[in-house]
Structures are given as structure tokens and as C-alpha cells.
Amino acid sequence: MKAGVIVLLLGVAVMMAGVAARADGWATTYSLTNGSVGVSNSQANSCWTPVAVLWKFSTVTNAQLAVHRESQGSSFVLSQFDASNTASVVWVPEAAYPFSFGDTLLLISSFSNGQVQVIRKAN
């Protein structure tokens, strides 16, 4: 009986640790099939901030990459750069850009054969 209670408590502790770790941030991977990916905040009363964006291409390539913020009908360029002779690129924002309800993080790539991963944290 005592061993069963200990196992149950350990299971609850592991589950709570997982919930706490997940609350800090999350990552989602998207296909670059169309050359652009839009990540929108569709939850009212919530806000998140991109921590990093990782591009992974199927082959070594040269690509033009851009990160935009679309908010209230306006588009803002957060970053725009060229990637040369590489299969992966990482963008880490220089500032915290909070995305509230209705805001969209738009990721654009001139090379569309690959994936992009967005790592976000809740505000």
C-alpha cells in the first residue's frame, strides 16, 4: 500500500513538473510548402512572444528570409536577411514582441522546400 502511494505521488509530481515546464513555452513546426507561414494569436485574453524562429531546408540553399508582424491591418518588418549556402537558419528577436489576439507572425522564405519552427512563450 505504501509503495502504491509513493508511485502515485511520483506520478503526480512528474505530471505537475511537465505542466510547469510547458507553461514556460512551446514550439510548433510548420511546412514551408507555400514559402510563407502565418502564426496567428486566435485566443482572446492571451498574449505570446516569439523566442526564436528556426528554418530547416531540405538542401543547402541561398534564400531571402523575412519576419513580419501583422497587427490591426498593418504589416511591420521585424527582420529581413539573406541566408547563403546553408541548410538551416535561426532568428532570435532582439526585443520582446508581444502578439495579442488577432496579431499574426508572418514568416517568409524565397526557398519553399523545408520547415520552420516557431518557439513561443506566454506573456
Q: Does residue 13 lie within any of the structural domains?
A: no
Q: Does residue 72 lie within any of the structural domains?
A: yes
Residue range of the domain that includes 57:
25-122
Map the chain to HEC letters. Answer: CHHHHHHHHHHHHHHHHHHHHHHHCEEEEEECCCCEEEEECCCCCCCEEEEEEEEEEEEEEEEEEEEEEEECCEEEEEEEEEEEEEEEEEECCCCCCCECCCCEEEEEECCCCEEEEEEEEEC
**Is there a contact between 121 and 49 (Cβ–Cβ < 8 Å)?**
yes
Question: Given this model, what pLDDT does residue 24 score?
Answer: 76
Q: Does residue 9 lie within any of the structural domains?
A: no
Q: Does residue 106 lie within any of the structural domains?
A: yes
Q: Does residue 94 lie within any of the structural domains?
A: yes
One pLDDT digit (tens) per residue for the chain, 123 residues: 444 434 333 343 334 444 344 457 899 999 999 999 999 999 999 999 999 999 999 999 999 999 999 999 999 999 999 999 999 999 999 999 999 999 999 999 999 999 999 999 998
Q: Does residue 19 lie within any of the structural domains?
A: no
Q: Does residue 3 lie within any of the structural domains?
A: no
Q: Does residue 8 lie within any of the structural domains?
A: no
For the CA atoms of 107, 114, 32, 102, what is the dihedral angle to 10 degrees? -40
Amino acid found at 8: L
- Total count of domains within the chain: 1
Question: For residue 15, what are the contacts with CB-CB under 8 A and spacing of at least 6?
Answer: none
CATH of the domain at 85: 2.60.120.230
| pTM for the predicted model, two decimal places | 0.78
